Amino acid sequence: MAGAALAGLRIVVSAGPTYEDIDPVRFIGNRSSGKMGFAIAAAAARRGADVVLVAGPVALPTPDGVHRVDVRSAAQMHDAVFAQLPADIYIAAAAVADFTPRQVAPGKIKKRDGEDGLTLELVRTRDILAEVAVDPRRPRLLVGFAAETGDVETYARGKLAKKKLDLIAANRVGVEGSGFESDDNALAVYWNGGERALGPAPKTELAERLLDLVAERLRA
Ligand code: PMT
């Protein structure tokens, strides 16, 4: 049974968005609801895995049997994921900010008379997945996600290679019925020498199919 293949394994899942604070009242965020990552964590726990869910700011209940660590920013998610290593598998479904303000303003940024714009200086965040991939405690299987609006296979395979992943699950964003916020999704999963299309289906169902594939690739 595919489910049994994950029993007893330690699996870290990231989910949801990150919020990058601009000042005490504003932040840069994204539309991730956490549904995809939470469904994966729930399915893995049902299969008997020891699951840690590192969650950005979302309004979802913690799945049964899952240990949840809440974070807000990309930097916090980075530290929380690394604090959970070593692990057997890391599945990165979170939509981590690629950029964060260079400085968080200590007070609310005010509109000034005569200024018709505001320039924010952003700096790159650390790439959690890419850093986990080269860490001595690298999990046996690293699964990334790729949110793409077009040219899905090219970009997803590019991320698979650049981030040194074992699997990448690509989904289309910016269309109805998949990606951010939706209850449903469709995944194109790529690995070196293979690919599999999963869905369209509810995210709960896709989580099961993705874990079947994860179990297969662990055995491969
Ligand atoms: O949360 P939902 O509403 O259910 O939506 C699900 C989803 C669309 C968010 C999810 O299926 C998804 O695609 N997650 C990844 C979104 C994303 O940030 O993709 P990316 O192509 O920008 O990043 C590629 C991979 O690198 C991702 O696994 C991401 O977690 C990881 N990453 C990115 C930036 C960074 N600084 N550190 C990272 O680890």
- The CB of 81 under 6 Å from ligand 1? The reply is no
Following DSSP, what letter does each residue of 94-113 receive, concatenated? -B--SEEESS--SSPPPP-T
Per-residue pLDDT tens digits for 98-136: 999 999 999 999 988 888 999 999 999 999 999 999 999
Check whether 2 has a pLDDT greater than 70.
no
pLDDT for position 5:
83
Q: What is the mean pLDDT of the chain?
A: 96
Number of domains in the chain: 1
Query: What's the gap in Å between 165 CA and the centre of ligand 1?
Result: 14
- The CB of 95 under 6 Å from ligand 1? The reply is yes
Check whether 70 has a pLDDT greater than 70.
yes
Query: How far is it, in rounded angstroms, from Cα 173 to Cα 106?
Result: 34
pLDDT for position 176:
87
Check whether 27 has a pLDDT greater than 90.
yes
Taking the whole predicted model, whether its pTM rises above 0.80 is answered as yes
Check whether 66 has a pLDDT greater than 80.
yes
**Contacting residues for 215 by C-beta, under 8 A, at least 6 apart:** 2, 3, 5, 6
113 domain-assigned: no
- Which residue's CA is the closest to the ligand 1 atom numbered 27? 145
Query: How far is it, in rounded angstroms, from Cα 189 to Cα 35?
Result: 18
Query: How far is it, in rounded angstroms, from Cα 32 to Cα 35?
Result: 8
pLDDT for position 91:
99
Nearest partner of 104 among 187, 213, 204, 24, judged by Cα = 24
Mean pLDDT of 131-155: 97
CATH code, domain carrying 142: 3.40.50.10300
pLDDT for position 3:
59
88: exposed, middle or buried (Cβ count in 10 Å: 0-12, 13-18, 19+): middle
161 domain-assigned: yes
Query: How far is it, in rounded angstroms, from Cα 213 to Cα 95?
Result: 22
pLDDT for position 175:
83
Check whether 173 has a pLDDT greater than 90.
no
Q: Are strands 66-70 and 50-55 parallel, antiparallel or unpaired?
A: parallel
Alpha carbon separation from 128 to 146, 150, 164, 165 (Å, rounded): 14, 24, 12, 12
60 domain-assigned: yes
- The CB of 42 under 6 Å from ligand 1? The reply is no
- Which residue's CA is the closest to the ligand 1 atom numbered 36? 127
Model confidence at 177, pLDDT cuts 50, 70, 90, reads confident
Model confidence at 89, pLDDT cuts 50, 70, 90, reads very high
The range of the structural domain enclosing residue 157 comes to 3-104+120-219
110 domain-assigned: no
pLDDT for position 4:
65
- The CB of 147 under 6 Å from ligand 1? The reply is yes
Ligand 1 pocket mutation, candidates 35, 54, 78, 145, criterion most atoms within 8 A of CB: 145
Query: How far is it, in rounded angstroms, from Cα 34 to Cα 185?
Result: 13
- The CB of 18 under 6 Å from ligand 1? The reply is no
pLDDT for position 174:
83
Instruction: Give catalytic status of residue 192 as yes or no.
Output: no
